[in-house]
């Protein structure tokens, strides 16, 4: 899945000379957590978060303030430089960027101009779609030997049963690297016939655990 398929294209921005109080107002009005800061060419030169604005605002525990802190330009609290992505980047790669850099938002740039934005909420929604958990389905986890060709062999069992598959994921079997786990979501509320087919074909089903099944 590409970034352009999940990014928001209507992005609220500010210029670096705008006061902090303007950012505070926009964050509250639009219920957002980040605002890209752009120059006259719509190129991102910084980003400000609700935490940046909150830290720059007067505390209720402090002495009465004249509000001068909020009159300062947004460039005084923005983060720069900014990590950005391209519309044709893969969403899976962007997930790694979020994790490695511990950030919750990335602007999307094309030809050095802002064209969209992706937040951690967008990433979570995309993950739900990729895993198929947003539709009624049953999850089956199958332990197989970690060697080429296992996925097509397993899928033949599902093909014979003619069930509709929502998603397929593969991850390592931590207790033993010689094995891996194939996780398949099928659009049925009764996976028992398919599970029986898998058992008869010699596969070990780790989930769901049914009476009489071993793992």
pLDDT at residue 194, as a whole number = 95
Asked if 3 and 118 count as a contact pair (C-beta separation under 8 A), the reply is yes
- Three-state SS at 66: coil
In this predicted structure, the answer to whether residue 64 has a pLDDT above a threshold of 60 is: no
Average pLDDT of every residue of the chain: 91
Render pLDDT for 145-154 as a digit per residue (tens, 0 to 9).
Answer: 999 999 999 9
DSSP 8-state code for residue 109: E
CA angle at residue 9 from 8 to 15, to 5 degrees?
Answer: 110
Asked if 126 and 180 count as a contact pair (C-beta separation under 8 A), the reply is no
Q: Under CATH, what is the fold of the domain 3-127?
A: CBS-domain (3.10.580)
What is the distance between the alpha carbons of residues 142 and 199, in angstroms, rounded to a whole number? 10
pLDDT at residue 215, as a whole number = 44
CATH number among 3.40.190.10, 3.50.50.60, 3.10.310.10, 3.30.70.260, domain 134-207: 3.30.70.260
What is the distance between the alpha carbons of residues 192 and 140, in angstroms, rounded to a whole number? 10
pLDDT band for position 211 (cuts 50, 70, 90): low
Q: CATH 3.10.580.10 spans which residues of the chain?
A: 3-127
pLDDT at residue 12, as a whole number = 97
Render pLDDT for 146-183 as a digit per residue (tens, 0 to 9).
Answer: 999 999 999 999 999 999 999 999 999 999 999 999 99
What is the distance between the alpha carbons of residues 133 and 127, in angstroms, rounded to a whole number? 9
What is the distance between the alpha carbons of residues 39 and 213, in angstroms, rounded to a whole number? 63
Sign of CA dihedral 182, 186, 191, 195: negative
Q: CATH 3.30.70.260 spans which residues of the chain?
A: 134-207
DSSP 8-state code for residue 163: P
Query: What is the model's pTM?
Result: 0.80
């Amino acid at each position: 899945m590409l970034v352009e398929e999940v990014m928001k294209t209507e992005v609220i921005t500010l210029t670096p000379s705008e006061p902090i109080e303007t950012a505070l107002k926009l964050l509250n009005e639009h219920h957002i957590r980040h605002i890209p800061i752009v120059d006259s060419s719509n190129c991102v030169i910084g980003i400000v978060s609700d935490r940046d604005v909150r830290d720059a605002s007067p505390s209720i525990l402090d002495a009465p303030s004249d509000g001068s802190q909020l009159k300062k330009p947004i460039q005084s609290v923005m983060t720069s430089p900014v990590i950005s992505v391209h519309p044709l980047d893969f969403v899976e790669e962007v997930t790694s960027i979020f994790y490695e850099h511990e950030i919750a938002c990335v602007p999307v740039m094309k030809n050095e101009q802002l064209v969209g934005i992706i937040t951690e909420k967008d990433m979570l929604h995309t993950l739900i779609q990729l895993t198929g958990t947003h539709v009624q389905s049953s999850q089956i986890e199958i332990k197989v030997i970690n060697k080429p060709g296992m996925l097509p062999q397993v899928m033949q069992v599902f093909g014979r049963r003619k069930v509709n598959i929502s998603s397929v994921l593969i991850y390592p079997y931590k207790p033993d690297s010689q094995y891996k786990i194939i996780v398949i979501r099928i659009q049925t509320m009764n996976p028992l016939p398919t599970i029986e087919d898998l058992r008869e074909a010699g596969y070990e089903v780790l989930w769901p655990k049914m009476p009489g099944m071993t793992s």
